[in-house]
Amino acid sequence: MDKDAAPITLDKLPLKQGGAIIEVDWALLDERDARRLRELGVDEGVSVEKLHKGPFGIDPIACRIGRMTVALRTAQAAAITVGPTRT
């Protein structure tokens, strides 16, 4: 992600681009999904890269979050805002 790029939600981030999580809107997620994402290390400042989309370009979305590769639903990815990586 270009260092001057505007923040964008993870579901709209182009494939093979990465950045850093700048905000997670936990209120958009149900309790179970929020707990799962927290357990996977989704938090502000963590690096993220969108790797693949599911068939027909919808669910699931494969992302590298930190050092893990995680499958997310589009609705979950829409709660995660990504910005340029801080150096």
Give me the CATH topology for the region 8-83. Answer: SH3 type barrels. (2.30.30)
15-74 pLDDT, tens digit per residue, is 999 999 999 999 999 999 999 999 999 999 999 999 999 888 788 999 999 999 999 999
pTM for this prediction: 0.89
The helix (H) or strand (E) run that includes residue 9 is strand 8-9
Token pair for 35: 């707990």
pLDDT of residue 10: 95
The domain segmentation of the chain, as residue ranges, is 8-83
Q: What is the pLDDT of residue 54?
A: 87
Instruction: State residue 87's pLDDT score.
Output: 64
